Amino acid sequence: MTEQSAKFTLGSDSSDMAVMSGTIGPDVVDVTSLYKNTGLFTFDPGFSSTASCESKITYIDGDEGILLHRGYSIDELAEKGDYLETCYLLLYGELPTAREKQDFVYRVTRHTMVHEQMNRFFTGFRRDAHPMAVMVGCVGALSAFYHDSTDIADPHQRMVASLRMIAKMPTIAAMAYKYHIGQPFVYPRNDLAYAENFLHMCFAVPCEPYRINPVLAKAMDRIFTLHADHEQNASTSTVRLAGSSGANPFACIAAGIACLWGPAHGGANEAALNMLMEIGTKDRIPEFIGRAKDKNDPFRLMGFGHRVYKNYDPRAKIMQQTCHEVLDELGIKDDPLLEVAMELERIALTDPYFVEKKLYPNVDFYSGITLKALGFPTTMFTVLFAVARTVGWIAQWKEMIEDPKQRIGRPRQLYTGAPQRGYLPVDERS
C-alpha cells in the first residue's frame, strides 16, 4: 500500500497524516492520530467521507456503476456463476475449483437442518408477527444451540459458524414463512440445490409433491447472488461493530438483520412494492413524483437513490432482466405493477430533480415485483435479502476478526448538550 502524506494546519498548529492508496478507489487520509496530535475529532455522522476499515472483499465504483466481489464483476458472477460459488469466493477470496466447489456445497448442504428444539421458538410469536422480527429472535438464539462454534479466536470454529449461518438461514427463513401462514414446517432436502431447497421449504406442502421450476429456481439463486455483499453498508457496518466487541457471530448476524430491516436499507424492497401498489396506476405517478420532491413531505420514492451509486445500480439492471424472465415463465402478461414501475422509472430518469440528485433505481426497485411473482408476501422480501446477505456479513466479520490491527469500534462525538451544572433539590426547581 503506497503512502504519501497530508498536512493538517489549524492556526499555528499542524499535524502530518499518512495518505494511503488501495488497489483501486479513493485514497484515504489516516486520521488515527489526529485527536492525539491536535485535540480535534473528525465529524462525519453519515460516514459519507469515512473509510471504516481496510477490506479485500467488495469494491463499488458509484460513479461508474461497478460492483466487484474479490475482483469479479457482479454481472459475470450473476450470469455465469451461482450463489454458493459466490459464497465460496467471498469467504475464501478465490473462485473454487470443481473439487473445492463440490466439497463446499456438500458441507453447506449438510448444515441446513436446525436443532429440533428451535421449532419451539416460533410458537412464542403471534402468527401475524413480521417475519423479520422472528428472524432477529431466532438467529440471535442460535448462539444458545451452537456453543461449539462461538469461540471467535478459533479459526476452525469461525469457519464452522460461517457455514452454519449460510446453511441455516434459508431453513429459518422458510420456517418463519410457514409459521406466518399457518402451514407445517418443511425439512431441508440434501438432494436439492440451495435455491431449489429454499423454494421447496417455502412452498411444498405435505398433501402433494412440489415440482421445482428450474427457471424460478435459477432466478431465486441469482437474486441471492445479487444481494450477497455490498461493501460497508449499514447492516454490514453493524455486524463489524458488534463483532469488534468479541460478540459471537450468531449475535452479530442478528444485529445485522435488525439494521437491514429499516426502510432506508433492506426494508426498501418491501416499501418499494407497497409504494407501487399505493400508486396503483400510471396516471397517479405525477402525484407521487411531486410528493417525492416536496421538502415538506417525508415521502421518498422507495427503490430509488443510493449513498454510493450516483449512476445506475448494476444489480438493478440484472434484477430487471430477472423480473421479466420470471413474469414470462409464469405467463404474467401486462403486470400492472411492472407497468407502473417501468413508467415511474422512465419519468424519474428524465425529471430534472432526480437527474440532478443522481437518483437511479437501486437493487430494491425491481426485486419486489419479482419476489411477489415468485409467490412471497411483501413481509418476506427483506427476509430474503437477509438470507442472501448473510454470507457478506459473515465474510466481513471474519475479515475483521482476522485483521491483526482490529480494535473495538468506539466513535466519539461533537457534544452540544448542557455544560456541567449543579444539582437542584426538587423543591428548588421552578
Task: Determine, following the binding rule CB under 6 A, whether residue 278 of this chain makes contact with ligand SDX.
Answer: no
DSSP string of 299-349, one letter each residue: ---TTB--SS-SS--HHHHHHHHHHHHHHHHTT--S-HHHHHHHHHHHHHT
The stretch near ligand SDX (CB under 6 A) out of 71-79, 132-140, 316-324, 357-365 is 357-365
Task: Determine, following the binding rule CB under 6 A, whether residue 264 of this chain makes contact with ligand SDX.
Answer: yes
Q: Which residue number places its CB atom closest to ligand SDX? A: 305
**Which H/E stretch holds residue 10?**
strand 3-10
Residues 6+ apart with CB under 8 A from 392: 57, 58, 90, 228, 229, 230, 236
* Among residues 122, 146, 288, 304, the one that binds ligand SDX under rule CB under 6 A: 304
* Among residues 70, 200, 218, 230, the one that binds ligand SDX under rule CB under 6 A: 230
Angle between helical axes of 381-401 and 234-244 (0-180°, round to 10): 40
CA-CA-CA-CA dihedral for 238, 241, 245, 248, to nearest 10: 40
Task: Determine, following the binding rule CB under 6 A, whether residue 152 of this chain makes contact with ligand SDX.
Answer: no
| Contact positions with ligand SDX (CB under 6 A) in 24-63 | 46
Whether 156 is catalytic: no
Task: Determine, following the binding rule CB under 6 A, whether residue 300 of this chain makes contact with ligand SDX.
Answer: yes
For ligand SDX, the closer CB: 180 or 230: 230
Task: Determine, following the binding rule CB under 6 A, whether residue 69 of this chain makes contact with ligand SDX.
Answer: no
Q: What is the rounded CA–CA span in Å between residue 253 and residue 397?
A: 9
Residues 6+ apart with CB under 8 A from 88: 95, 96, 100, 101, 104
Task: Determine, following the binding rule CB under 6 A, whether residue 302 of this chain makes contact with ligand SDX.
Answer: yes
* Among residues 306, 327, 381, 393, the one that binds ligand SDX under rule CB under 6 A: 306
User: Which position has the grid cell 440528485?
Assistant: 357
Whether 221 is catalytic: no
Angle between helical axes of 131-141 and 155-181 (0-180°, round to 10): 150
* Among residues 56, 110, 147, 357, the one that binds ligand SDX under rule CB under 6 A: 357
Question: Per-residue x/- marks for ligand SDX, 360-389, CB under 6 A?
Answer: --xxx-------------------------
User: Which position has the grid cell 458472477?
Assistant: 77
Interface with ligand SDX (CB under 6 A):
46, 230, 233, 264-266, 268, 292, 300-308, 357, 359, 362-364
Catalytic residues: 306, 364
